[in-house]
Structure 1
Amino acid sequence: MTNLPPRAKLATAMLRTAAALSRASGRGDGSVIGGKVGLTIEPKLLQLLAAGRRVALISGTNGKTTTTRFTAAALEAAGPVATNSFGANMPTGHTTALAKARDAVNCVLEVDEHYLPRLMAEATPQVIALLNLSRDQLDRAMEVSGLAAKWRDALAQHPDVPIIANADDPWVAWAASGSNNVTWFAGGQRWQEDSWICPQCRKHLDRFGDYWRCTSCGFTRPSPTWGVEGNAAVTPDGSRVPLDLRLPGQVNRANAVTALAVASAFGIAPQQAAPLLVNVKSIAGRYAVVRRNGRRLRLLLSKNPAGWLEAFDMLEPMCPVVLALNAREVDGYDTSWIYDVDFSPVRDRRVIAIGDRRMDLAVRLQVNDVKFEVARDITEAINVLPSGEVEVIANYTAFQDIRAEFDRVN
């Protein structure tokens, strides 16, 4: 780390003050407003705070918050870690995270996929993890192909930066394939509806599970050196490292393997890092368990078709499920994406639809031959369900509404 020039020191002090005031007034953790104040005073503050530190960037459509938390836990084997692991994944949040932990040499930053090129230029990363690319809020964000091209162009400007990339996602493989130093992991791709054409020649891809190839131009899935077998990570030397995780689902085992690969790039052995992953239990309320009136509710956040598909894979057998859908600014106003989701996995359960757009969700469930009920909010939904286990799947603001309701009860 380097000493900051006077303007940057002032910017850092004002950042911390703004963040503290935000927390004291109950407006949030202050990451966004703090970073905004700091960058207004010193536009190069992010670059200055990252100088002389070892930075890992984690990006993708889904799983980046969880993978960032896993990676931060793994890097703690080598000391304090600067991280924005609660989701402020744009430059304002990155700046705040680096300012809050000035003594941490190792840093891991979750990066919104649209901001990855900027962070590559400003944070001088030691390693970048690329998880996946799929449709997400298409009413205000670019198509998957455009985002993959944006990544590919940015990576071409930094060809020697080590990349850890998901070999099972054709768009990620294409974006990373021009780099000189790529480590491939088998992260799986349950959602495949955005990757039936070849990113390279735009012809049809042949797919066999997670394996894929283009018979027209020869673009083929790279051979991964990291993977998952059961409840163990498979390392490049063929070792199997047990994964004792508190978070459910195959997708989180893949996220954990990605974190171990990033930690390995920092010189931390998988056998040393893996036991630390058990410390990750809940991420900003995701996977949290709440008990209310004899019910045990588990909260799952899912923001797009790929995320809902993964959430269905995590559901406990046969227990009721509450599905919550909003369409506010940060969710995207267009709810037509729910027709990309196959709701048949919940067909044999008791299903309750809530949220601002619960009637949109109700129509979709009816089209998918899923029997359902409609409730105004999570409290009403709970009251009509019997005692026992309940799964809750919600998109972003619906998830925050549910958390706020539970906080009011507390």
Structure 2
Amino acid sequence: MAGNADPLSPRAKLAVTAGKAAAAVSRAAGRGSGSVIGGRVALKLEPDLLGQLAQHLDVVLVSATNGKTTTTRLIAEALRASGPVVSNALGANMPAGITSALAGGSDAKYGVIEVDEKYLAGVARDTTPKAIALLNLSRDQLDRAAETRMLAEKWREGLSGTKAVVIANADDPLIVWAASSSPTVVWVAAGQEWKDDAWSCPACGGVLQRPGDDWFCGECGFRRPAPSWVLNGDYVLDPHGSAWPIHLQLPGRANKANAATSAAVAAVFGVPPQVALERMGEVQAVAGRYDVVNYQGRELRLLLAKNPAGWLETFSLIDAPPAPVILSVNARGADGTDTSWLWDVDYGRLAGHPIFVLGDRKLDLAVRLEVAGVDFQVCESVDEAVGMAPAGRIETIANYTAFQDLRRVVGN
């Protein structure tokens, strides 16, 4: 528990110092924040460092295919009502990045940690979390990630018997399957827009029936659990039936779902929904996502979408035609090098928008748009696209490294 901190071992202190030095060298060389290399150096010197850094914290882990970074930020803001928080708020979500983040939080009471899906079970073992939030699972980084059912199975095995309170999305069958091995689960009706990875029963392989908002397997009886927290329009209903308004500056239904889950997590730590949601309402942008920036005399809104489920949610945010849209796709290591997922996205929804296509894999995207029957123009640079775009705020949608490229260009 927080407050009963044993001091770090001498070896762990040395590892933290060495990690910070490596990070400083990396920053000085212009190679980013240095958090990953710093964490790697520190873990080499003390493999148990993550566990030692977490021992004095009440830890929350957040994992999902979409919404991890935003939900981590919302939970962190909510818990600050109750004490200092350390968090990997910029999304370095593998063990090295998590270690770096915690090394900077010696005075914190809470650790709010975003975790890459592949590493969840291991990080849970190392950090002994008090709460784990599981939001959704869908296809992503096809060259790297396991098939979604296999990933859900790994979570199910890794979290079996955990002492943590698991806060899980009752509307995603894969999440329900993954969480069902945990002794204490708080179910949240957070919704599921993208259903194409959850038509078969994760328990037996049968076809899931989906009447209305419900779902169940007609063959083995696996079914949607009764939620105790419910997202209902612009409100979240708590377990007592009280409705609390959600006033976010972040746009879209998906972020209301993230807020509902975050309110359920905050309640585990004694932060009331009203206080938690008020604090979440102060968040304007998360690591550049949703920011509106001025560039070359134009307004650009920066939106991140990394996989089919993310693109589907993002399309619901953009202004109606004829709002101009810039789409940028890369396929570097952090994105996943397989772009076949483009064919799972319904780009027909962009019909009527002037579309400008950028990025390392702009031709892959161009072929996809051609088949979708959507008009577009391929551009060599952001400047060219902005110069060609008709009047109105420009909606820019990019996958992970393309989003970082875009932020560097527009100065965000």
Q: Which residue of 2 aligns with 1:183?
A: 186
Q: Distance in 2 between matches of 1:288 and 1:236?
A: 34
The equivalences for 1:227-306 within 5 A come to 227-306=230-309
Match of 1:72 in 2: 76
1:341-390 CA distances to partner (integer Å, 9 max, x unpaired)?
01121112111111111111111111111111111121110000123211
Cα-Cα RMSD: 1.2
Map 1:117-128; keep pairs closer than 5 Å: 117-128=121-132
- Give the Cα separation in 2 of the matches to 1:101 and 1:52: 10
Indicate the residue corresponding to 1:91 in structure 2: 95
* CA shift for structure 1 position 161: 2.1
**Which residue number corresponds to residue 344 of structure 2?**
340
- Matched letter for residue 34 of structure 2: G
CA contact (8 A) 2:143 2:336 kept: yes
> Which secondary structure state, in structure 2, belongs to the residue aligned with residue 153 of structure 1?
helix
Aligned equivalents of 1:51, 1:145: Cα separation in 2? 32
State how far apart, in whole Å, the 2-side matches of 1:113 and 1:187 are.
19
- Are 2:209 and 1:206 equivalent residues in the alignment? yes
Q: Are 2:8 and 1:4 aligned? A: yes
Mapping 1:10-409, distance limit 5 Å: 10-158=14-162, 160-318=163-321, 319-407=323-411
Aligned-pair distance for 1:16? Answer: 2.0
Structure-1 separation of matches of 2:277 and 2:334: 34
The residue type equivalent to 1:100 in the other structure is: G
Deviations 1:9-56 (A, max 9, x none): 111122222223333333212211111111111110001111132000
Q: TM-score, normalised by structure 2?
A: 0.96
Paired AA for residue 357 in structure 1: R
Q: Once the 2 structures are TM-superposed, how far is the Cα of residue 259 of structure 1 from its aligned partner?
A: 1.0
CA distance in 1, matches of 2:59, 2:8: 18
Q: Contact conserved, 1:294 with 1:388, CA < 8 A, in 2?
A: no
Cα distance between partner residues in 1 of 2:212 and 2:48? 45
CA contact (8 A) 1:295 1:386 kept: no
Show structure 2 runs of 5+ residues with no match. none
Deviation at 1:209, TM superposition (A): 4.3
The SS at the match of 1:279 is: coil
Equivalent pair of 2:347/2:372 in contact (CA under 8 Å): yes
Cα distance in structure 1, aligned partners of 2:381 and 2:242: 48
Partner Cα separation in structure 2 for residue 280 and residue 35 of structure 1: 27
How far, CA to CA, are the matches of 1:400 and 1:115 in structure 2? 23
* Conserved? CA contact 2:161–2:183, under 8 Å: no
Corresponding residue SS for 2:62: strand
Which sits farther off after the overlay, 357-366 or 146-155?
357-366
SS of the equivalent of 1:244 reads coil
- Structure 1 runs, 4 residues or longer, greater than 6 Å off: none
| SS of equivalent to 1:52 | coil
Q: Secondary structure at the match of 1:275?
A: helix
Q: Is the 8 Å Cα contact of residues 354 and 378 (structure 1) preserved in structure 2?
A: yes
Give % identity: 53
Structure 1 residue 157: deviation in Å?
A: 4.3
Q: 2:359·2:402 contact (CA, 8 Å) conserved in 1?
A: yes
